[in-house]
Amino acid sequence: MKHEEIVVEDNVSTVVRFVLLGFSEFPNIQGFLSGVFSIIYMVVLIGNFLIIIITRLDPALHKPMYFFLGHFSSLEICYVSVTLPRILVNLWTQDRSISLLSCATQMYFFLMFGATECFLLAVMSYDRYVAICNPLHYPLVMNPKKCHQLAAGSWLGGVPVQIGQTWQIFSLHFCHSNKINHFFCDIPPILKLACGDTSVHEVSVYIVAMLFAVVPFMLILASYSKIGLTILKLPTAQGRAKAFSTCSSHLLVVVLFFGSASITYLRPKSNHSAGTDKVLSLLYTIVTPMFNPMIYSLRNRDVIAALKRVMLKT
């Protein structure tokens, strides 16, 4: 793979095209990886499309909880489609090159959809908080207009900041190497290729991560603290079990996503290693979206019943 570059005034070579190394360190299992990732992509698409369909078609699921679940499934399809098709193309063709513009575009959509997921998970926890802690006011608080506003805010809230962050990262000069030791254009491996001091950019990454990951996570923790106290006060074991079952799926998804993403973006630069970053990134970009439809369907009787009704109709 040729190292493509342009020469600027100060005689520093600046990269204009990158090479995504991906999983090139495993040349003997490229075909196996291609098969595994193809299956994962199909599972993600089929599972999430099924949830979108049944939440739209079944009147029993026309509730705020499933309205947000439909948005979450749409988001997971978008989120995975930013990275996984590119991985598959790289594995199939063995051409791992990516232009500067394509790399910046991939990073922007990845960060934007990641911010949307943080916000949407926080909104879903707020929905559960109102449903369990204030059930009498639930229809009034989570009315259709409010639900659409919260969904729109989740999708659009991170757009301006992520445009700015992507522009800031790609305004740097990249020199000495054009090889990104990752399977997509992510911030930590890109910053490693930048010339000069990147400490200011690293600080801005931490600030954005705190804003879009830590703050929503703290709101989720606050919601579930209230929910937990309310559930413990319920008079019957059956009532407690039902209330807990409506929250456990969402809580599991929150732990999987925020746990792996936070470790990636909030740990010190000195602790970053390419192998660890790849494993963690696989967790929150591919593995978690694959399991989300299973988590939400297998642990939710309403979704299972709705799926059966839709299958019987078809």
Domains of the chain (ranges; CATH) run 17-313 (1.20.1070.10)
Average pLDDT value for residue range 20-26: 84
Q: Token pair for residue 29?
A: 């299992």
Mean pLDDT of the chain: 84
> Degrees (nearest 5) of the Cα angle 90, 86, 30?
35
Q: Is the pTM of this model over 0.85?
A: yes
* Torsions phi, psi for 2 (to 5 deg): -80, 145
pLDDT attached to residue 159: 94
> Degrees (nearest 5) of the Cα angle 313, 54, 110?
145
pLDDT attached to residue 288: 83
Cβ contact 65:138 at 8 Å: no
pLDDT attached to residue 2: 44
Q: Token pair for residue 217?
A: 């996570």
Tell me the per-residue pLDDT of 161-220, one tens digit each, with 9 for 90 and over.
Answer: 999 999 999 988 887 688 898 889 988 889 888 887 888 888 888 898 888 888 999 999
Tell me the per-residue pLDDT of 42-57, one tens digit each, with 9 for 90 and over.
Answer: 999 999 998 999 899 8
The answer on pLDDT for 222 being more than 90 is yes
Cβ contact 23:103 at 8 Å: no
Tell me the per-residue pLDDT of 115-135, one tens digit each, with 9 for 90 and over.
Answer: 999 999 999 999 999 998 999
pLDDT attached to residue 108: 96
3 state SS of 85: helix
